[in-house]
């Protein structure tokens, strides 16, 4: 009896570099009839980008992005920068799918990303929507729309509220924050000095007929208001104004819409390792090429190099 009881089977592993900036490790894993693409590095075990192609043998035309996160160790060769580095990972995955799996035409993007906010998670989708009017995915792909038409209509209505000028008193705004019912740490945070500065910004926005979007952007850009305060304020503002909660919502993304943007994205496959059918490992997300070779040799499986080459134009 084998000492392995695998739930997943490793098919291939690729070391990819995008525009010669970052070096990523991408593995293809089969689970039941589904194909999972996991992009990360040999510096951490957890993948940074995960895409699932359901019923892969049926030549499905649809995939789902299950996970996307930033971590400085997402690349094997150097630390990954915030913002631009995450876009590099996203583009690398898209380019790989477009080249190796051309039958895939659409990808569902589930927007459940979080960022650290003074030790607590903050929903990135809602933060970006309330401060810029669009989510992080929309900043990459402006033509995105939500998969559910009713939810998309709610998003449009919420955006109109955010684009409207401030139209309430400062006292009512503070009351809507429900300060007296919240974490005592927030009550301590809202000092007399912070209240004064908040009022100055609020009164300026009222006088200049500035929108809620720009008001929250001013708060987010002000170093005196930490993300804990911003996160709390946005949460109760969203509740009081009926702003759509975008955390976990699914966006529909046609790959064709990225053709022009991806034209200048060049990925070089430094090394590809293919293994025989049903290679019995639980998960392979990290580790060096030599460790994969040792594991392959231990199981008496051959190791095949597929030289280095460029991925073609989409």
Integer Cα distance of 5 and 254 in angstroms = 37
* pLDDT at residue 268, as a whole number: 79
CB of 125 within 8 A of CB of 238?
no
Greatest mean pLDDT among 45-59, 202-216, 222-236, 245-259: 202-216
Give the model confidence (pLDDT) of 85-137 as tens digits: 988 898 899 888 888 888 888 888 877 777 777 777 788 888 899 999 998 88
Same domain, 127 and 275: no
Give the model confidence (pLDDT) of 33-80 as tens digits: 889 999 999 888 889 999 999 887 767 788 999 888 888 999 999 999
Mean pLDDT over the full length of the chain: 78
**How far is CA 4 from each of CA 19, 279, 281, rounded to the nearest angstrom?**
38, 10, 7
Tell me which long-range contacts 175-181 makes (C-beta under 8 A, separation of at least 24).
176/236, 176/237, 176/240, 177/232, 177/233, 177/236, 177/237, 178/236
Residue 143 within any structural domain of the chain:
no
Residue 138 within any structural domain of the chain:
no
Integer Cα distance of 296 and 276 in angstroms = 10
Residue 1 within any structural domain of the chain:
no
* pLDDT at residue 298, as a whole number: 34
CB of 28 within 8 A of CB of 39?
no
Same domain, 31 and 105: yes
DSSP state, 11?
A: E
Residue 2 within any structural domain of the chain:
no
Dihedral (Cα; 82, 88, 92, 98), 10-degree rounding: 120
Same domain, 154 and 43: no
User: What's the domain range around 169?
Assistant: 116-133+149-247
Integer Cα distance of 70 and 48 in angstroms = 7
**pLDDT confidence bin for 250, thresholds 50/70/90:** confident
Q: Whole-model pTM?
A: 0.70
Same domain, 120 and 240: yes
- The token duo for 163 is 């684009």
Number of domains in the chain: 2
Residue 84 within any structural domain of the chain:
yes
Same domain, 129 and 236: yes
143: Cα separation from own chain's centroid: 17
Same domain, 83 and 123: no
CB of 21 within 8 A of CB of 94?
no
* pLDDT at residue 182, as a whole number: 56
Same domain, 193 and 300: no
* pLDDT at residue 179, as a whole number: 56
Q: Which of 34-48, 91-105, 221-235, 265-279 has the lowest mean pLDDT?
A: 265-279
Q: Angle at Cα 117 formed by Cα 112 and Cα 148, nearest 5°?
A: 20
Same domain, 41 and 96: yes
Same domain, 257 and 214: no
Residue 139 within any structural domain of the chain:
no
* pLDDT at residue 277, as a whole number: 55
**Helix, strand, coil percent content, the chain, rounded in steps of 5:** 40, 25, 35
* pLDDT at residue 78, as a whole number: 93
Residue 215 within any structural domain of the chain:
yes
Give the model confidence (pLDDT) of 145-199 as tens digits: 888 889 989 999 999 999 999 988 998 888 877 655 556 666 667 778 888 999 9
Q: Which residues make Cβ contacts (< 8 Å) with residue 305, sequence separation at least 6? A: 271, 272, 273
């Amino acid at each position: 009896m084998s000492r392995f009881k695998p739930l997943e089977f490793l098919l291939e592993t690729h070391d990819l570099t995008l525009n010669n900036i970052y070096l990523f490790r991408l593995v293809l894993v089969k689970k039941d009839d589904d194909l999972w693409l996991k992009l990360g590095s040999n510096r951490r075990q957890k993948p940074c980008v995960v895409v699932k192609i359901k019923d892969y043998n049926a030549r499905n035309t649809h995939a789902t992005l299950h996970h996307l996160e930033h971590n400085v160790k997402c690349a094997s060769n150097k630390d990954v920068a915030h913002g631009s580095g995450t876009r590099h990972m996203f583009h690398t995955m898209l380019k790989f799918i477009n080249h190796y799996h051309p039958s895939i035409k659409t990808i569902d993007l589930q927007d459940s990303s979080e960022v650290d906010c003074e030790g607590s998670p903050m929903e990135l989708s809602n933060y970006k929507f309330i401060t810029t009017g669009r989510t992080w995915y929309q900043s990459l792909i402006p033509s995105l729309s939500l998969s559910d038409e009713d939810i998309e209509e709610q998003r449009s209505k919420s955006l109109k509220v955010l684009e409207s000028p401030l139209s309430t008193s400062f006292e009512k705004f503070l009351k809507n924050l429900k300060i007296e019912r919240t974490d005592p740490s927030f009550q301590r945070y809202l000092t007399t000095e912070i209240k004064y500065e908040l009022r100055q910004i609020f009164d300026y926005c009222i006088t200049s007929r500035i929108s809620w979007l720009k008001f929250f952007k001013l708060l987010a850009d002000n170093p005196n208001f930490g993300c804990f305060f911003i996160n709390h304020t946005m949460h109760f503002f969203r509740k009081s104004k009926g702003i759509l909660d975008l955390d976990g919502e699914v966006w529909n993304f046609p790959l064709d819409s990225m053709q022009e943007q991806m034209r200048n994205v060049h990925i070089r496959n430094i090394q590809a390792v293919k293994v025989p059918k049903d290679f019995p490992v639980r998960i392979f997300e990290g580790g060096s090429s030599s460790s994969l070779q040792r594991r392959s040799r231990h199981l008496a499986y051959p190791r095949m190099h597929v030289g280095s080459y460029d991925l073609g134009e989409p």
